[in-house]
């Protein structure tokens, strides 16, 4: 690793064994363990998540098999502005092209269900890979269970009841993204600026829009988070999943917890594969700081955020160059307004 990027700190590994099963002692233990890393970094790893290693291995192989398909078979599943789920290799972040290809999918639509009105989609599957769908949907279900359990622990860690946020996720708009970062002949260096003058990035710097992201990453390091005033590599931890908080959780926490800036390096020697599960609220959700006006404490730091509008605008910026990406800073209440 480049000496200028040497780590002084890595996000902690939190053992969440028992949390997904609803163990009360585990809930209290995990909530206590999450407070410091969520306030300091917004990033941590989880072990004891209950997704079997065999299932993760099968998922990893299925992801590789999908991206190994001929390009024509992948582009036949290309996502559009009307259907946000499918294959894409021209994504933008901060209005700049990323060095990657992706495949997005979510819950299967029920028979007769109307198409989504927002930045959602309908699953598209390659006809020649019948084994792909059950493997990917099993991973989606496992990530959803873990993420919902983490949401309960995060609620407790903030001093709320465990179910304080559950109503916002009854029809959640979460989805999985498969990422392949192919080898790159001109990768940007690890200590590159936010907008490198030379070289390419797998994904440019951004925060995640929703509540939290549960990330599977292979053994090839590439994820960087902005920690202690610089980008540092978040090393993969075998058997663990990586969690970063999203913008809506920063709003709900009223800045107590961070939605961390992060990006992905390109690699000159090896392909890298990863798969984030984005736990997003239901589209009708309006997010605002969870503060009690009758309790002496800091005033709200954000105006109300319509999740549907926020997600639509962020998705439009990812798909093509439709203007500046929307950010929660656009909703921040200035000191003169408080």
Yes or no: say if 65 and 178 are a contact pair by the CB < 8 Å rule. no
Q: Model pTM?
A: 0.94
Q: How far, in whole angstroms, is CA 12 from its chain's centroid?
A: 18
Q: Which residues of the chain have pLDDT under 50?
A: 1-7
Specify the pLDDT at position 7: 42
185-204 per-position pLDDT tens digit: 999 999 999 999 899 999 99
280, 172 Cβ separation under 8 angstroms: yes
| pLDDT given for residue 3 in this prediction | 36
What are the CA-CA distances from residue 21 to residues 34, 93, 174, 212, 331 (Å)? 18, 37, 21, 20, 37
The pLDDT assigned to 332 comes to 97
* Structure confidence at residue 171 (pLDDT): 87
In this predicted structure, what is the pLDDT of residue 120?
Answer: 80
CA distance 156 to 54: 32
CA distances for 36 relative to 14, 22, 285, 323, angstroms: 11, 22, 27, 36
pLDDT of residue 318: 62
Do 178 and 67 contact (CB within 8 A), yes or no? yes
Helices (H), 41-131: 53-67, 71-75
Instruction: Give the domain ranges of the chain.
Output: 3-331
What is residue 95's predicted lDDT score, i.e. its pLDDT?
Answer: 77
Distance separating alpha carbons of residues 254 and 194, to the nearest angstrom: 26
Strands 286-287 and 92-93: unpaired
Phi, psi of 262 (to 5 degrees): -150, 165
The pLDDT score that the predictor gives to residue 92 is 80
pLDDT of residue 63: 98
Alpha-carbon gap, residue 201 to 185, rounded angstroms: 11
Report the C-alpha gap between 186 and 196 in whole angstroms. 11
Q: How many CB atoms lie within 10 A of CB 101?
A: 19
Provide the CATH number for the domain formed by 3-331 in this structure. 2.60.120.330
Looking at residue 322, what is its pLDDT? 53
Give the pLDDT confidence score for residue 155 in this predicted structure.
Answer: 98
């Amino acid at each position: 690793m480049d000496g200028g990027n040497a780590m002084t700190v890595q996000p902690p590994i939190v053992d969440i064994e028992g949390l997904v099963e609803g163990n009360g002692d585990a809930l209290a233990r995990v909530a206590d363990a999450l407070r410091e890393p969520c306030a300091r970094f917004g990033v941590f790893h989880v072990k004891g998540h209950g997704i079997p290693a065999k299932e993760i291995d099968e998922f990893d192989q299925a992801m590789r098999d999908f991206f190994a398909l001929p390009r024509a078979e992948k582009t036949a599943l290309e996502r559009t502005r009307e259907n946000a789920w499918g294959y894409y290799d021209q994504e933008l972040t901060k209005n700049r092209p990323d060095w990657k290809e992706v495949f997005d999918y979510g819950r299967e639509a029920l028979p007769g269900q109307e198409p989504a009105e927002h930045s959602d989609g309908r699953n598209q599957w390659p006809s020649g890979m019948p084994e792909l769908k059950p493997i990917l949907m099993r991973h989606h279900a496992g990530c959803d269970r873990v993420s919902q359990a983490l949401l309960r622990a995060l609620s407790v860690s903030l001093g709320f009841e465990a179910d304080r946020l559950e109503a916002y996720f009854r029809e959640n708009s979460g989805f999985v993204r498969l990422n392949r970062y192919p080898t790159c002949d001109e990768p940007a260096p690890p200590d590159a600026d936010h907008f490198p003058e030379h070289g390419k990035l797998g994904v440019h710097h951004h925060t995640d829009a929703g509540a939290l992201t549960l990330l599977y990453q292979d053994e090839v390091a590439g994820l960087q988070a902005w920690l202690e005033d610089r980008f540092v590599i978040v090393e993969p931890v075998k058997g663990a999943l990586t969690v970063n908080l999203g913008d809506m959780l920063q709003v709900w926490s009223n800045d107590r917890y961070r939605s961390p800036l992060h990006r992905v390096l390109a690699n000159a020697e090896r392909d890298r594969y990863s798969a984030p599960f984005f736990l997003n609220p239901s589209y009708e959700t309006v997010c605002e700081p969870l503060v009690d006006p009758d309790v002496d404490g800091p005033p709200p730091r954000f105006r109300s955020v319509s999740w549907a509008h926020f997600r639509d605008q962020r998705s439009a910026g990812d798909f093509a160059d439709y203007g500046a990406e929307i950010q929660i800073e656009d909703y921040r209440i200035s000191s003169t307004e408080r």
